[in-house]
Amino acid sequence: MSEFRVNSITNQDGSAGPQICGVSTFSGKSGVQIPSGSSDFRRQDGGGRGRGVFGSGASPGNYNVMDLITIATTGNSTDFGDDFKVRQENYASFSSSVRGINAGGYNPAAFTSIAFFTFASQGGMNDFGELQTATYANAGCGNNIRGLSGGGNSGSTHNNIIEFVNIASTGDGNDFGDLIEGNRSLGSGIASPTRGIWHGGNTSDPSGNEVKTIQFVTIPTLGDAVNFGELITARNSHSGCSNSTRGLIVSGQNPSNLNSIEFITIATEGNGTDFGDISTNGRDYQGSCASATRGVNAGGQTPSKLNVIEFVTISTTGNATDFGDLTQKRRFLQGCSDVHGGLAQ
């Protein structure tokens, strides 16, 4: 089949017209008009569709189900496929615009498994490789190239290890650096294309040793995390999500369940600021994902297990609004998307 491509278009008077997806259109003395209606441009690799996926968890039995949402459209989730492992006690989740990855977890002990799925193709997860250190209650972030897993618990030890993988390939985790302190049940999911951020957590068991620490790394450059600021409220077992400029820190516990949301500006070190509240009366162990405009939270417990999905508009402070329901009530789930803040948007 023949292919015709136009590198540039100008008006008859030589000026560049309005642009759609970076392509100039005609205006003024033009001989062509772009038709009205849907402008649904798709990437050749199938990525960047605005999909969010929430992974496995427990309720109280173990589930390896994965749920799919379209972030721009409220409604109930649908079945995406299955993880080949049931991942409890939180795990790291990160993604590119094409792939989502889960790393680590617990069932019935900490393990090293890394698995991936393709956003454009509903179905089960595939083996990716192994973390260097078996861990659970770790947290993930990344950009379109690298995915990072930080912190967690390796059994009796809280660790400060950061590992990374190259998302487009498969293989085992590599040493990136260390967190400021050994934390488990910390939150992440906050990233720009250059920065990855972890927040909160607890430094020892039992719960009650929550911290306010916010710390970050420069994703393209190996090295240890450095201080970013502090949360308003120390917390663990919470979640986070972001667009490329603003990160949200959502609910959690200290030691009772919280319903508060805080935000930070990713490019500027500083402390958390009040954003609003979730709709449920205290919630922890939920998962989050985001697009450039919306942050979405799903599942968790109050302590009753939940199937609630709700969202906020990231650029506008305020309380969360109902989005829909998960296919299964569960906690310990994690979320990721193909349009989050770590991806160039």
Strands 174-178 and 187-191 come out as unpaired
| Residue ranges of the chain with per-residue pLDDT less than 70 | 1-47, 88, 205-208, 344-345
Does residue 99 belong to any structural domain of this protein?
yes
* Residue 183: CB atoms within 10 Å: 31
Q: What range does the domain containing 274 cover?
A: 52-337
Spatial CA neighbour of 107 closest among 332, 340, 335? 332
The answer as to whether 12 is a domain residue is no
The answer to whether residue 290 sits within a structural domain is yes
Backbone phi, psi, residue 291, to 5°: -115, -170
| CATH value at residue 106 | 2.120.10.80
| Token reading at 109 | 């002990």
**Can you read off the two tokens belonging to residue 101?**
């990855």
pLDDT for residue 264: 98
Residue 43 resides in a domain? no
Query: Residue 207: what pLDDT?
Result: 57
229-281 pLDDT, tens digit per residue, is: 999 999 999 999 999 999 999 999 998 899 999 999 999 999 999 999 999 87
Q: What is the pLDDT of residue 88?
A: 67
Is there a domain that residue 131 lies in?
yes
**Helical H runs in 107-168?**
none
- Alpha-carbon gap, residue 163 to 149, rounded angstroms: 5
User: pTM of the full predicted structure?
Assistant: 0.86
Residue 139 lies in a domain: yes
CA distances from 34 to 21, 23, 31, 37, 118 (A): 12, 11, 10, 9, 32
Domain count, the chain: 1
Residue 275 in any domain: the answer is yes
Domain presence at residue 26: no
* pLDDT tens-digit series, residues 170-219: 999 999 999 998 888 888 889 999 999 999 999 876 555 899 999 999 99
Q: Tell me if 81 sits within 8 A of 125, measured CB to CB.
A: yes
Contacts of residue 221, defined as CB under 8 A and 6 or more positions apart, other chains included, come to none
